[in-house]
């Protein structure tokens, strides 16, 4: 069974790489890769998905936006209009839909299987925009070569938009990740061996 597939490890510093680049765009929506957090156990992509608000006084517009972000747990499979992500490249492939399926079926991926898991996100709504911050956890670490982060959000006109990442750079950055505390027990003061 793959370890650490649910999300980043607790009690660890990540090497943080600011990105601030558009990963996907349509006339009505944008997905921005804000930053990448590199851990020895995997990579956390911090993304923001946003749409322009067309009717500032319509309350159901917010509901419609949220219901294209992620499917309800009761739904068997994500529908085509949902926001979804993939990673793809030599030696790596994973889909955010697969992680949702693992959770629904209360199972874990196999050893060596890559998982791209959408972890708890949060939304904000203003008079002109809907915004949702969606962290994605990729585990284990990717191979040290280029791969694509692919975004699709058909409900808002985004189809197969690719953003290439340098896997070697991310893996090197992950080497700087460390535990909050030393992994071995500290020496007790005043005790001699």
Q: What integer pLDDT is reported at residue 98 of this predicted model?
A: 74
Distance (Å, whole) CA 10 – CA 106: 21
Secondary structure element (H or E) that encloses residue 44, with its range: strand 42-52
**Tens digit of each residue's pLDDT (9 = 90 or more) over 166-187:** 999 999 999 999 988 876 444 4
Asked whether 40 and 175 are in contact (CB, 8 A), the reply is yes
Give the DSSP letter string of 97-125.
HHHHHHHHTT--PPTT--EEEE---EEEE
Q: What is the pTM (predicted TM-score) of this model?
A: 0.81
**Is residue 47 very low, low, confident or very high in pLDDT (cuts 50, 70, 90)?**
very high
Q: Comparing 9 with 53, which gets the higher pLDDT?
A: 9
For residue 188, what pLDDT is reported? 43
55-68 per-position pLDDT tens digit: 555 555 555 565 56
pLDDT band per the 50, 70, 90 thresholds, residue 122: confident
pLDDT score, position 73: 46
H/E run at residue 95: strand 92-95
Mean pLDDT of the chain: 79
| Rounded mean pLDDT, 27-45 | 94
Query: Confidence class of residue 163 from pLDDT cuts 50, 70 and 90?
Result: very high
Confidence class for position 16, pLDDT limits 50, 70, 90: very high
The confidence band for 103, taking pLDDT boundaries of 50, 70 and 90, is low
Contacts of 183 (CB under 8 A, 6+ apart): none
What average pLDDT does the segment 137-144 reach? Answer: 92
Domains, the chain, with CATH or none: 12-176 (2.60.40.1640)
In this predicted structure, what is the pLDDT of residue 74? Answer: 45
Q: How far apart are CA 32 and CA 153, in angstroms?
A: 13
């Amino acid at each position: 069974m793959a370890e650490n597939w649910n999300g980043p490890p607790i009690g660890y510093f990540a090497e943080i790489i600011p990105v601030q680049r558009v990963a996907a765009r349509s006339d009505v929506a944008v997905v921005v890769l804000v930053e990448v957090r590199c851990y020895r156990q995997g990579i956390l992509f911090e993304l923001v998905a946003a749409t322009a608000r067309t009717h500032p006084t319509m309350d159901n517009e917010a509901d419609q936006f949220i219901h294209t972000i992620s499917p309800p747990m009761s739904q068997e499979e994500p529908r085509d209009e949902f926001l979804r992500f993939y990673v793809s490249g030599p030696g790596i492939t994973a889909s955010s839909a697969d992680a949702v399926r693992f959770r629904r079926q209360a199972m874990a991926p196999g050893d060596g299987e890559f998982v791209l898991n959408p972890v708890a996100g949060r939304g904000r709504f203003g008079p002109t925009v809907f915004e949702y911050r969606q962290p994605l956890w990729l585990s284990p670490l990717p191979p040290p070569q280029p791969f694509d982060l692919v975004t699709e959000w058909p409900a808002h006109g985004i189809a197969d938009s690719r953003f290439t990442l340098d896997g070697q750079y991310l893996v090197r950055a992950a080497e700087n990740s460390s535990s909050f505390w030393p992994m071995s027990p500290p020496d007790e003061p005043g005790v001699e061996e």
